[in-house]
Structure 1
Amino acid sequence: MRIKRGAVVAGTVAVALGLAACGGGSSSDSGAKSTSGFNAGSTGIVNASDKKGGTLRLGYYSDVDSFDPTRIYYAAGQNFMSVYNRTLLTPDPKPGKDGLVLKPDLAEALPEISADKLTYTFKLRKGVKFEDGTPITSKDVKYAVERSFAQDVLSGGPTYIVDQLDQGQNYPGPYKDTDPQKLGLKSVQTPDDSTIIFKLAKPFADFPFLLPMLPGAVPQAKDTGEKYTEHVISTGPYKFETFDPGKKVVMVRNPNWDQSTDPIRKALPDRIEMTLQMNPDEIDKQLLDGTLDLDFAQVGVQSAAQAKILLDSNLKKNADEPNTGFIRYFTISSKVPPFDNIHCRKAVQYAADKVALQTARGGADAGGDIATNMLPPNIGGHDPKLDPFNTKSGKPQVEKAKEELKLCGKPDGFETKIAVRNKGKEPKSAEALQQALAAVGIKASIDMGDASLYFRSTIGSPDNVHAKGYGIMTAGWGADFPTGTGFLQVLVDGRKIQPSGNNNYGEINDPEINSLIDKAMAESDPKKAAEIWGQINAKVMDTATQLPFVYDKALNYRNPRLTNVFVWQYYGMWSFGSLGLSDGK
């Protein structure tokens, strides 16, 4: 997930569903024990309360990439969509490992799974409606699934569901569907209005984890395709009142949401307002003076605010610093010259100053630990000893970098471009790498990209990367779901390279890596699967296309008036849908 999913723990759907079956009940536990103080929200609930009312005020440094759940691939976006988008299954918004458990949402219960693990049958919960009062049927859910296949119209979101359900049909999505009802996807069946059946071609243990990433239901009559983001039809407790792109979002209560049908959400505020395109330092200022309640991105305060918070005990007690489960890294293109030569890529690996890169992210305390490989510690298969370029110390290895430059035929260095989003701490990371590369003769210019388009069409378009000559690209990633498949596959599977919304930025297409991915995804034993992902991780590092530098932490500040504040481990950030306001204002 792009600056995407969070501090998940390695596991399997079998475990997650099993826990859900045992857990039962509502996640809205008014008897939850309250906690307080610095980092209290990382492990418990700060200011537990069921008080309703008031306006939750958010600030965001960018425009939103989309509110259409089909196209959302940021952690904050997927976390936030829980307030307006109900899905068949959803991770349970609770602190700790309980937050990794999948619970029924639109579905009335966990799926019935066939003995051969190929068929998943869901029954829909009774009484759930769209914001206009129309009852949700299984056909609305199937149509929502089908929209993910329309990559020519709705690019940018996760495509795991397409991989599992297309099965050679080459289904084009509903907009080009020749079926009169636009429900022609053969692998999904709706025998009646309350039943939906998914047919897999081969067992895939992680399949239920794909469902929270989709729009749970979309009314075909109100689907406006690419423009659906302008007014998403809500199935959750809040609906969009206004959306002024680049300026402001206002959400109000959905009168057709019924709490009795929803055991997941509390829906405490009356209103949610989000101001867009704010300067990051201004967001921090308004957080500290109480004008804002929360930073929507939750990627950490800027350096000036960080110093204030850590040095002032009255401020520090309102901050959390969780391990987010993200990794910050650079991808080195395997297609843009001279990086089509592996030795030129290795030169960058050895030249990098990871201490400087860590400092750019906020240092060891607020930025994270130095990363040596692409699987973070919270994902099965991580090997803390895997360090092929000997970077654990974080110090640049100038002589080794120069040796690699000679081997790639560029003894005097070369010129290249670093692509980076124009927001947050990322420009400082790019500058730190630029300075380190200059020490070995590599002259790197920095090209700032619009944050709202960066992953979809700036570095997410291979054609654009080639045309602009982006040799190095700044990125961040967290697990889409808590397995190696959910973290690493889309980054390194050569069969997943897309013309737009591409996540395999380095364009790795190694047959051996692809084969190991298939083997890992088919493995039902989580320990064996984790071992295979460890092998994949090692082979990916051997390509020298990935330069991981920090296993991420984020120092975030919470307005003291917020209630029910906790880090939802599934996303590695505070749960938007759980928040309330102690003053009711």
Structure 2
Amino acid sequence: MKKSILATGLLVGLLTACSSGGGGERNTLTTVTFGDWSSFDPAYCYDSACGEVLQNTLDTLFFYDGDSPRDLVPQLAAELPTVENGGISEDGRVYRVRLREGAKFSDGSPITPEDVEYSLERMMVYSTDVGPAGLLLEPLLGSAAPVRADGEVGYEAIDKAIEVEGDTVVFTLAKPFAPFLEVLAGYWGSIYSKSAAVEAGDWSGTANDWEEFNNLEQAESKLNGGPLGSGPFTIERYDVGTSVILQRNNNYYKEPAQLERVIILSVNEEGTRIQQLQAGDADMASPNAITPSQLPTVRKIEGVTVEQRPSLSLTAFLMNWNIDGSGTGYLGSGRLDGRGIPANFFSDENVRRGIAYAFDYDAYVNDVLQGNGRQQNTILLEGLPGADESQRYSQDLDRAREAFQAAWNGEVWENGFTLPVFFNSGNTSRQRGLEILKQNLESLNPKFRVEVRELQFSQILSQGAAGKMTLWFAGWGADFADPHSFAQPFYESHGTYAQNIRYSDPAMDRLISEAIASTNQDRRVELYRQIATRGFEEVVMVPLTQSLNTYVTRDNVQGRVMNPMFAGDYFYPISKQ
């Protein structure tokens, strides 16, 4: 308790010193967000909150060029590999990446090819249930399925996939994978110090102890506080669920950041976030931390600018086809008796179809999002090859009623249900979206009861991975600007959300595997359209909207780059007048 009080006092003192005139000191930036942070160990981090911290403290081999979601520039790499310069083999399976000279970690030690090999192999060795290892496993080992000690694919395959030859890291892919460089540009491709990790008691980098760290419980990670990295900032302090403070890395191998410190505050009450912007206690809000309904108010604040850019993100209702009801009480009675639902409630397509046609999309887009988004009912978003707006659900209460009357041989309609549905704390847009769903469903049948509940974001992630969620309002931002970045996580058996909802379809898996391995772009587009159509017709989930990203910034903040592929913000180019 004393540690908690002291930490809070220190934070208050620090913030007080920085609270006048747009976050105060010229070299300190204060940004407000909501929710909490799951882990700063790359093996477990797979959300934009922790991803933002990794993006600013751990560099990758490649990074995005300005605000372009497709163009890359070398970061820790010396150059972009191509077929022409010999960096990519003719068959698209071997990538040779030479490191930049002079790159170093924040303690001044040099970055070596062995650090690159260790960082990326460690991601695959850990293969955690909640982490992004699948993004590396799929191109390098041929499947996004997590590696397990008793599985068919083990450490030997990991070790062979990434090798060091002098100053060059050599990647051998299991199959051609068009967006492989984009995969390496995400925060899951972060590079950190092998020696510092091993000294902390982490994996040795050899076959001797890899099984000990395979799918290690997150609480046991030696790097939850963040590994020794090479980014423009370091983690100065983390107060659980409250704030992260980043400090400038003065040993950065490029020009040091102009900001000395960045304070990221978690403020779940949106009204309080707005007050902090108005009072000048915050310099900016994290992308989409101000909901569309509040934008007219924020636009009236003197000295504050609101800008919007197209996103590559999709919101959806996710429905778990086989719910693990242990320890949560979410299933209620566990039966179709009006007081609960059975574990396999959503495995009946008619239930899912009833949800799809009960929701009022126009009310959500126009009243909740205030027009700051568009209805999107497939994974082929605007801005992606093959984008398609022709397949849409619409609110049709007659069709919804028919679907529920057919569900579970009529038992759903006859007996009703009690269904808890979930949104993440502080996300008022998602809360209001679920309230619309509740109203629409309960209007169909007085025996239908929907309970809108709130959970911390980290709880939704962990309970989703454990298969314990029922229906929840989720979002997915593209890992890279390619249709595969949505097809794989939502529909491939080992995809993050497919596993969360316990969905598996071998035919869908075959389509996705063929699409990513094809080197013919027209064929890839054709296959992804087949995938999107199959998901739409079977109502695997209910895609809802493609949104605009909203950036709220005080006028004295300069250099903010608005790239839809960033996890939150990239603070390196930002300065304050």
TM-score range, shorter chain: 0.7 to 0.9
Residue 308 (structure 1) aligns with: 297
Residue 438 (structure 2) aligns with: 434
Q: 1:432-491, CA deviations, whole angstroms, 9 ceiling, x for partnerless residues?
A: 111111111232222322112322x122222x23xxxx1x22111121101111222111
Q: 1:136-193, CA deviations, whole angstroms, 9 ceiling, x for partnerless residues?
A: 11111111001212446583235220122235998669xxx999xx99711111123x
Q: In structure 2, the residue corresponding to 1:528 is in which secondary structure?
A: helix
**Alignment CA distance shift 1:362-1:439 (3 Å):** same
Q: 1:189-242, CA deviations, whole angstroms, 9 ceiling, x for partnerless residues?
A: 1123x2110011221122111112234322233225524131431202211222
Is residue 481–residue 487 contact of structure 1 (8 Å, CA) maintained in 2? no
User: How far is the alpha carbon of 1:123 from its aligned partner?
Assistant: 1.0
* Counterpart among 423, 445, 454 of residue 451 in structure 2: 445
User: How far is the alpha carbon of 1:512 from its aligned partner?
Assistant: 1.7
Is residue 171–residue 185 contact of structure 1 (8 Å, CA) maintained in 2? no
Residue 269 (structure 2) aligns with: 279
Partner Cα separation in structure 2 for residue 496 and residue 303 of structure 1 = 30
Matches within 5 A, 1:134-145: 134-145=109-120
Q: Aligned AA for 1:577?
A: Y
Q: Aligned AA for 2:134?
A: T
Residue 479 (structure 1) aligns with: 478
Q: Which runs of 5+ in 2 are unaligned?
A: 1-24, 82-86, 203-220, 323-342
User: How far is the alpha carbon of 1:540 from its aligned partner?
Assistant: 0.5
User: How far is the alpha carbon of 1:495 from its aligned partner?
Assistant: 3.3
Matches within 5 A, 1:132-531: 132-151=107-126, 155-166=130-141, 185-192=159-166, 194-213=167-186, 214-223=188-197, 224=200, 226-259=221-254, 267-296=257-286, 298-302=287-291, 305-310=294-299, 312=300, 314=302, 318-335=305-322, 336-359=343-366, 361-364=368-371, 366=372, 368-387=373-392, 389=393, 391=394, 396-408=395-407, 409=410, 410-412=412-414, 413-425=416-428, 426-441=430-445, 442-455=448-461, 457-462=462-467, 464-465=468-469, 470=470, 472-496=471-495, 502=497, 504-531=499-526
User: How far is the alpha carbon of 1:304 from its aligned partner?
Assistant: 6.5
TM-score by length of 2: 0.79
Is residue 494–residue 510 contact of structure 1 (8 Å, CA) maintained in 2? yes
Q: 1:500-521, CA deviations, whole angstroms, 9 ceiling, x for partnerless residues?
A: xx55433321222111101111
Is residue 91–residue 100 contact of structure 1 (8 Å, CA) maintained in 2? yes
Q: Aligned AA for 2:94?
A: T
Matches within 5 A, 1:98-109: 99-109=69-79
Partner Cα separation in structure 2 for residue 88 and residue 108 of structure 1 = 9
Q: Aligned AA for 1:122?
A: V
Q: In structure 2, the residue corresponding to 1:377 is in which secondary structure?
A: coil
Hey, which bits of structure 1, 4+ residues long, moved more than 6 A? none
Is residue 246–residue 276 contact of structure 1 (8 Å, CA) maintained in 2? yes
Is residue 322–residue 572 contact of structure 1 (8 Å, CA) maintained in 2? no
Q: In structure 2, the residue corresponding to 1:73 is in which secondary structure?
A: coil
**Alignment CA distance shift 1:184-1:574 (3 Å):** closer
Is residue 418–residue 444 contact of structure 1 (8 Å, CA) maintained in 2? yes
The worse-fitting range, judged by mean Cα deviation, of 507-516 and 135-144 is 507-516
User: How far is the alpha carbon of 1:76 from its aligned partner?
Assistant: 5.1
User: How far is the alpha carbon of 1:493 from its aligned partner?
Assistant: 0.5
Is residue 312–residue 565 contact of structure 2 (8 Å, CA) maintained in 1? no
Q: In structure 2, the residue corresponding to 1:64 is in which secondary structure?
A: coil
Q: Which runs of 5+ in 1 are unaligned?
A: 1-51, 261-265
Q: Aligned AA for 1:490?
A: P
Higher relative contact order (CA 8 A, sep 6+): 1
Q: In structure 2, the residue corresponding to 1:334 is in which secondary structure?
A: coil
Partner Cα separation in structure 2 for residue 118 and residue 104 of structure 1 = 20
TM-score by length of 1: 0.78
Q: 1:294-341, CA deviations, whole angstroms, 9 ceiling, x for partnerless residues?
A: 223x1241466423135x3856x7101222221221022333432221
Q: In structure 2, the residue corresponding to 1:185 is in which secondary structure?
A: helix
**Alignment CA distance shift 1:282-1:228 (3 Å):** same
Q: Aligned AA for 1:351?
A: A
Partner Cα separation in structure 1 for residue 514 and residue 293 of structure 2 = 47
Partner Cα separation in structure 1 for residue 26 and residue 189 of structure 2 = 27
Is residue 360–residue 429 contact of structure 1 (8 Å, CA) maintained in 2? no
Partner Cα separation in structure 1 for residue 154 and residue 530 of structure 2 = 43
Is residue 334–residue 545 contact of structure 1 (8 Å, CA) maintained in 2? no
Q: 1:507-542, CA deviations, whole angstroms, 9 ceiling, x for partnerless residues?
A: 321222111101111111223212211110110011
Is residue 142–residue 183 contact of structure 1 (8 Å, CA) maintained in 2? no
Is residue 359–residue 437 contact of structure 2 (8 Å, CA) maintained in 1? yes
**Alignment CA distance shift 1:577-1:81 (3 Å):** farther
Q: In structure 1, the residue corresponding to 2:347 is in which secondary structure?
A: coil
Is residue 79–residue 576 contact of structure 1 (8 Å, CA) maintained in 2? no
User: How far is the alpha carbon of 1:82 from its aligned partner?
Assistant: 3.2
